[in-house]
Amino acid sequence: MLMNRYQGMVHSQARKAFLSEEEAEDFTQDVFIKAYESLSLFRGEAQFSTWLFQIAKFRLTKVNKKKSHIFTDWSEDVATVADKSKPSVVDILDKEETHLTLHSLIAKLPKSYQLPIRLHYFENKPLKEIANDLNIKLGTIKSHISRGKDLLRKWWSHEIEG
C-alpha cells in the first residue's frame, strides 16, 4: 500500500537523477527495499513521505559517490523537517552500513589479525591481557593489530571510492 502511494513520487525524482529509466527503476526499488528493512526505525515524528525522502537522499548519496549526478529536489524538504537534536534515519542507516562494512572487512583479515582486533577494539581488552589469553608475545599482538589496521584502512578506502 505504501509503495503504491509513494512509488510515483520517488520514481519521478529518480528520473531526474539518472540518465536511464532502468537506473531510475532500480533506484526506486532499492529505496523501498531499504525503507521496508528499516520500517522499525520510523518514529512517526515526521510524515512517512519525509522519512522516505531521507532514505532516498541517503541512498542517492551512496550512488553519487560513484556517479556525478546530483539529486537536489529532496534536500529542502528533508532539511526543513529534520530534527537536529535526534539522530535522523540517515544517520542511523549510515552507522548501520558502516558497522556492517567494517565487520565484513574484518572477516576478510587473516585469522591471526582478526581475533586481536576484535578483542581489543570491540571487547576493550588491554593488549597485555590479549597476549596472555592467546599465549602470544605482546609485541606480536601489537604487530598483528597494526598490520590488520593497515589492511583495513586500505580496503576501507577501496570500499568508499568504489
Residue 106 CA to residue 35 CA, distance in Å, equals 27
Map out the domains of the chain as residue ranges.
2-85, 109-161
pLDDT tens sequence across 104-114: 888 899 999 99
CB 149 within 8 A of CB 117: yes
Please determine whether the domains at 2-85 and 109-161 fall in the same fold group of CATH. no
Cell matching residue 148: 590488520
- The architecture in CATH of the region 2-85 reads Orthogonal Bundle (1.10)
| 109-161 has CATH 3.30.420.40 classification | no
CB 74: neighbour CB atoms within 10 A?
20
pLDDT tens sequence across 47-59: 888 788 788 887 7
Q: Is the pLDDT of residue 23 over 70?
A: yes
CB 162 within 8 A of CB 65: yes
pLDDT tens sequence across 120-156: 887 788 999 999 989 999 999 999 999 999 998 888 8
By CB atoms closer than 10 A (0-12, 13-18, 19+), residue 148 is buried
Mean pLDDT of 71-98: 53
